[in-house]
Each structure stands twice: as structure tokens, then as C-alpha cells.
């Protein structure tokens, strides 16, 4: 492969957000490493002060192509971290595009699936930000993907993390109201939503929550936090939901209600996806795709659909997605 007149042997994806990771890709050979397996710091992400990757010892040639990924932090933090890493390791060949987060999720899950065509649904707590409207982050995306192209069909951007919804997250009654809103979110879309079409993709601008944002809010409400309150622990909340009911106010009851609401939301989103293409293959990625209980329920609800769930659905997987995108779809 040639890049700016230089032969490139390998493509190296580097996720510089939480769940920091690297992927070393040469043709069909892939090596994937999560940094917290090396430094023993769960969910570790680099900062401008601490950006040393122990896993970089696995990289043989820093003259190869580097693709950096992140979920889109404010104030150009990602760009500054990328610059510091490139300066330290003398990396000359690199791409950092802050608008590719969900595309990298989609490329990663499609690459490890056995499908030749699929509709990919990405759901998380927030990815790339809209230019000039940086409080809006992509939360839901639908792509059609095959061996030759990735086509965006639907993208929802929410500013729920920065809206009045997020104020006073410890209020349990407020969480219950938000949960009911999410349950009806796609079937009764917010009157204040804005829609526009660009390059055959429907864009939605909303102030409402999606499953990823709702689980983050739940974690703040019932104090399921780690790293001094910096990281939410939605996986623990998903597990806690098995012990609750859908009418009480205990922590496990709230988790149960959130679990059921997000299940309904995602079923609506899958039904929406199936209107865009005749393929019966659905692949799921993004942090919410780690919800194993609801993933099973989708397979029971859609009996004639072939599902594949990203085994590395969290942001660490975008290191693989970035490398795959560069090699196959750029």
C-alpha cells in the first residue's frame, strides 16, 4: 500500500478514548490489544499529561499508517493527545478524523462477522459531535455495509447529556419519567426534533435520550460509578436489572425499568433499519450492544433475522474499525 509516496506494510488503529486500545492489521492478520490489560487501570484513557501506551511495544515499525479514533471530547482534547503521541513516537503517517466514531464501530463488527452484506446498528452514549453544534453527539446510527462500501442511512444526534435532563441526576422520580420517554421515543418522536436529509441519509437532531444516555443517567442516579466517579458502569446496571420489578423505586427496580425501556427502543430501531434494505442480516455495535439479555430478546422477537453482536462493542473496538476502514473503505 502506498501513502504519500511511501510504502505502508501495516495499518495500526489506536483508540485514544476510554477503553484505550491498539490494533495491528496486515492484510487479513489482526492483533488487538486493550491497554488496561497492560497497565491494570480499568477503562483507562490517555490524557495530555499521561499518554504512554505500554501496548505500543507490540508495534514494530512506527513508519506504518496510524488511524486514531475517539468518541469526541470537547476543546480539541483528542487532537492534542494525538499530536503528543505522534511527536513522542515520531509518527509521520497518520489520520485522525473526529467524525468517524460510529463508522469505525460499524467497520469493526462487519469485519469479524461472517456476512457479505448487513445492516449495522450502532448505539452508545455519544460519539462524534456535530460541527458548530458540539453539544450534539451521535447516539444511534444505521448503516448498510458490504465488502465495498459503508452507507449511512439514519443518524440521530442528541444533546441530552447537556440538556436540563441531566441536571439533578440523583432524583429517582425524574429518572422514571425519563425512562417512560425513552420507551416511546421512536414511536412518538419529540415534537421539537429536527430532521434533514443529506447524501441519502436521514439525520435527526433531538433533545431526548437514547439507551446509552439513559443507562449513563441511571448509573449516576444509583451511584454505579468508577474511577472517582468519572466512568459509568452500565454493565453492572444491566446485571442488576434481573433482580428488580417494573414498578418499584429500589435501585434494582429502576434498572429493570431502564432495561425494558431500552429493549423497546432498540426493537423500534431494528424495525426502522429493516426498511432501508432487503438484507436479513443485522449486526450490532456500540457500548449498548454489550447488553446480553436484550440481545437475546431481539433474536426471539425477530425470528427470521440473522444477528451478529460485536464481541468488542465498546470503544476499544474502534481501533480495529479504524484499521479496517483505512484498508477497505476509505
200-234 pLDDT tens trace: 999 999 888 899 999 999 998 999 887 666 678 89
CATH of the domain at 176: 3.30.420.40
Q: Are 291 and 265 in contact (CB under 8 A)?
A: no
Q: Which range of residues forms the domain containing residue 90?
A: 2-99+318-328
- Please state the rounded mean pLDDT for residues 8-27: 92
Q: Are residues 230 and 136 in the same domain?
A: yes
CATH of the domain at 42: 3.30.420
Out of 72-76, 152-156, 240-244, 319-323, pick the least confident: 72-76
Query: Quick one: cell of 251?
Result: 435501585
Pairing label, strands 65-69, 94-96: parallel
- Please state the rounded mean pLDDT for residues 262-267: 94
Q: Are residues 265 and 208 in the same domain?
A: yes
98-118 pLDDT tens trace: 999 999 999 999 999 999 999
Q: Are residues 40 and 183 in the same domain?
A: no
Q: Are residues 132 and 261 in the same domain?
A: yes
Cα gap 226→169, rounded to integer Å: 16
Q: Are residues 87 and 145 in the same domain?
A: no
Whether 109 is covered by a domain: the verdict is no
Helix (H, G, I), strand (E, B) or coil at 29: strand
Helix segments in the chain, DSSP class H: 36-39, 77-89, 101-112, 172-183, 211-222, 234-240, 251-273, 292-301, 318-328
Q: Are residues 236 and 307 in the same domain?
A: yes
Q: Are residues 227 and 254 in the same domain?
A: yes
Whether 107 is covered by a domain: the verdict is no
On the question of pLDDT at 165 being above 80, the answer is no
Work out the widest C-alpha separation in the chain, in whole angstroms: 64
Q: Are residues 85 and 127 in the same domain?
A: no
Whether 141 is covered by a domain: the verdict is yes
In the chain, the number of structural domains is 2
Amino acid at each position: 500500500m502506498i501513502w504519500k509516496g511511501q510504502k505502508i506494510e501495516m495499518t495500526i488503529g489506536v483508540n485514544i478514548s476510554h477503553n484505550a486500545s491498539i490494533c495491528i492489521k496486515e492484510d487479513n492478520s489482526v492483533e488487538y490489544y486493550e491497554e488496561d490489560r497492560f497497565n491494570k487501570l480499568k477503562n483507562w484513557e490517555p490524557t495530555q499529561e499521561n499518554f504512554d501506551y505500554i501496548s505500543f511495544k507490540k508495534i514494530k515499525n512506527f513508519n506504518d499508517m496510524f488511524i486514531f479514533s475517539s468518541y469526541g471530547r470537547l476543546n480539541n482534547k483528542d487532537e492534542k493527545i494525538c499530536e503528543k503521541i505522534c511527536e513522542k513516537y515520531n509518527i509521520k503517517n497518520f489520520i485522525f478524523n473526529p467524525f468517524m466514531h460510529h463508522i469505525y464501530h460499524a467497520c469493526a463488527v462487519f469485519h469479524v462477522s461472517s456476512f457479505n452484506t448487513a445492516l449495522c446498528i450502532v448505539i452508545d452514549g455519544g460519539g462524534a459531535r456535530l460541527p458548530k453544534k458540539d453539544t450534539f453527539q451521535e447516539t444511534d446510527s444505521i448503516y448498510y455495509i458490504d465488502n465495498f462500501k459503508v452507507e449511512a442511512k439514519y443518524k440521530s444526534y442528541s444533546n441530552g447529556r447537556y440538556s436540563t435532563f441531566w441536571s439533578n441526576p440523583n432524583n429517582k422520580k425524574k429518572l422514571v419519567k425519563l425512562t417512560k420517554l425513552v420507551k416511546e421515543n421512536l414511536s412518538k418522536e419529540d415534537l421539537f426534533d429536527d430532521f434533514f436529509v443529506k447524501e441519502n441519509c436521514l439525520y435527526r437532531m433531538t433533545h431526548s435520550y437514547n439507551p446509552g444516555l439513559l443507562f449513563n443517567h441511571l448509573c449516576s442516579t444509583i451511584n454505579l460509578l468508577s474511577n472517582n466517579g468519572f466512568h459509568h458502569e452500565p454493565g453492572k446496571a444491566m446485571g442488576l436489572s434481573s433482580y428488580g420489578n417494573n414498578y418499584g423505586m429500589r435501585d434494582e427496580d429502576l434498572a429493570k425499568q431502564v432495561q425494558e425501556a431500552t429493549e423497546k427502543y432498540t426493537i423500534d430501531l431494528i424495525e426502522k433499519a429493516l426498511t432501508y434494505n432487503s438484507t436479513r442480516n443485522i449486526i450490532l455495535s456500540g457500548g449498548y450492544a454489550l447488553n446480553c439479555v436484550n440481545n437475546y430478546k431481539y433474536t426471539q422477537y425477530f425470528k427470521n433475522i440473522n444477528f451478529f453482536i460485536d464481541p468488542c462493542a465498546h470503544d476499544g473496538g474502534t481501533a480495529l474499525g479504524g484499521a479496517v476502514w483505512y484498508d477497505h473503505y476509505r
